[in-house]
Amino acid sequence: MNRPLMVAFDLANQQAAMELAKALGPDGRGKTVKVGMELYYKEGARILQKLQEQGYAIFLDLKLYDIPHTVEKAMLQLARLGVDYVTVHAMGGQEMLQAAKRGLAAGAAESGLPAPKLLAITELTSASEEVVSKEQNCRLSLEEQVLSLAQLAKDSGCDGVVCSALEVEDLRRVLGDDFFYLVPGIRMSDDQVGDQVRVATPAMAHKAGASAIVVGRPINQSAQPKRAYERYLADWQDSLKEN
């Protein structure tokens, strides 16, 4: 089973993205990159094509959250881009999530491409218990909220969720192994956590049951991105071998 380490290309423009791609090696085959809002809003679909031409699989992380009709039509367009994963906010509700799935299916059928995996954002890894309670006015604990949103996502036809490593074990126990658990907020124990709150090492994420992990600043802001990538990949792959 493919369990990728995704590198977050959270960068300002195409030049920076191509420099990082070059630093990671001449061939992107077997690698997955995350293109988020900053890079996509600057460069649009052309940056996806550039990366795909080098062999990279694409996680397009735009976190759609709007009325169902708008999300459905947006997903129809994204499915035509040949990306591998896309995201929506689970808080958009069942009708919106189902509309997203319909849009992906329609766009894939029209373009003759496989439909991207639809991943639902639960709670961002920058969110804390206090944020969920005091700012979101949620009556549930953080863990209960993540489980509730993940259950909604699965019931609505999503292929998986984005969550922290701290919740994966409980989610797998309730939702099963036929669901995709993507874990951002990955840091080695000696790295700066930045604005992340719920973090884990690659090995910790695997032990918890992550299907894939996303690593951003420790690689894309490193003076030696390839060495940083290989360090994280080794920790992730070593943990997979132990399984």
User: Does the annotation list 155 as a binding residue?
Assistant: no
62 annotated to bind ligand = yes
| CB-CB contact of 127 with 197 (8 Å) | yes
Cβ atoms of 149 and 123 closer than 8 Å: yes
Catalytic residue among 63, 73, 207, 226: 63
Query: What is the Cα–Cα distance from 240 to 11, expressed in whole angstroms?
Result: 29
Annotated binding-site residue? 213: no
Alpha helices in the chain (DSSP H): 14-24, 37-43, 45-53, 68-79, 94-111, 129-130, 142-155, 165-175, 202-208, 217-220, 225-241
Q: What is the DSSP string of 78-105?
A: HHTTT-SEEEEEGGG-HHHHHHHHHHHH
SS3 185: coil
Has 69 been labeled as part of a binding site? Answer: yes
Name residues whose C-beta falls within 8 Å of residue 171's C-beta, 6 or more positions apart in sequence: 146, 147, 150, 161, 163, 179, 181, 209
Residue 3 marked ligand-binding: no
187 annotated as belonging to a binding site for a ligand: yes
Q: Evaluate whether 239 touches 203 at the Cβ level (below 8 Å).
A: yes
Residue with tokens 């209960």: 144
42 noted as active-site residue: no
Structure tokens at 225: 């991105």
Question: Is 113 assigned a ligand-binding role in the annotation?
Answer: no
Active site residues: 63
Binding site per annotation, positions for substrate? 10, 34, 61-70, 125, 187, 196, 216-217
